[in-house]
Amino acid sequence: MRVYDVTTFLEDHPGGEDVLLHAAANGDATESFEEVGHSSTATSMMEGYFIGTLEGHAASSDSSSGAPSGGALRNKALLEKKQPPSSGFSGFLLPLLVLALAFAAWYYLTYINVKA
Ligand code: HEM
């Protein structure tokens, strides 16, 4: 199941914040969202609020088959969060490595490779 954080969108939602809060409290807004017949603009807007997927939770259309209830949605530990772009090797170590290489090159050219 896909999870969206619409807290910053509540005030801007043309359908009002109440429907969003109600859908969130329900745990699964898939059906409500589809019933409204949202435009393709609305559907692509929604992707901007996507924060991750919830594993082990069936889509609402399957919920009659005894799938776990929306309460599980609040278990943030189950969320597969998107990695922030600036972390780990590419975010911190790589720029540091490039800087170190640049310094080494400058040092070599300035002090070691001087032709008198
Ligand atoms: C991230 C999720 C959502 C986004 C980005 C979104 C966006 C929009 C947008 C752009 C509209 C204007 C009409 C259109 O372009 O289709 C709209 C209308 C509406 N939305 Fe949403 N929506 C979201 C979730 C929901 C949910 C979960 C519900 C219901 C529980 C809902 C209920 C409505 C209703 C009732 C309208 C009609 C308002 C009217 O005609 O006056 N929306 N929404």
Highest mean predicted confidence (pLDDT) among 25-29, 69-73, 76-80: 25-29
- Ranges of H-type helices in 27-83: 30-36, 40-47
Q: Which two tokens stand for residue 17?
A: 């914040």
> Do 76 and 91 belong together in one domain?
no
> Do 60 and 89 belong together in one domain?
no
Half-sphere exposure of 6 (CA within 13 A, CB side): 25
Highest mean predicted confidence (pLDDT) among 47-51, 58-62, 78-82: 47-51
Would the CB of 31 count as within 6 Å of ligand 1?
A: no
Question: By residue range, what is the domain housing residue 69?
Answer: 2-82
Q: Tokens 């991750």 belong to which residue?
A: 52
With 90 as the cut, is the pLDDT of residue 43 above it? yes
- Residue 70: the pLDDT is 47
Q: Residue 33 C-alpha to ligand 1 middle, in angstroms?
A: 7
Q: Whose CA is nearest to atom 21 of ligand 1?
A: 15
> Do 48 and 89 belong together in one domain?
no
With 50 as the cut, is the pLDDT of residue 62 above it? no
Q: Residue 91 C-alpha to ligand 1 middle, in angstroms?
A: 36
> Do 93 and 69 belong together in one domain?
no
Q: Residue 60 C-alpha to ligand 1 middle, in angstroms?
A: 18
The answer to whether 37 and 16 have CB atoms below 8 angstroms apart is no
Strand locations in the chain, DSSP E? 2-4, 50-54, 79-81
> Do 108 and 60 belong together in one domain?
no
List the CATH number of the domain containing 43.
3.10.120.10
- Residue 104: the pLDDT is 95
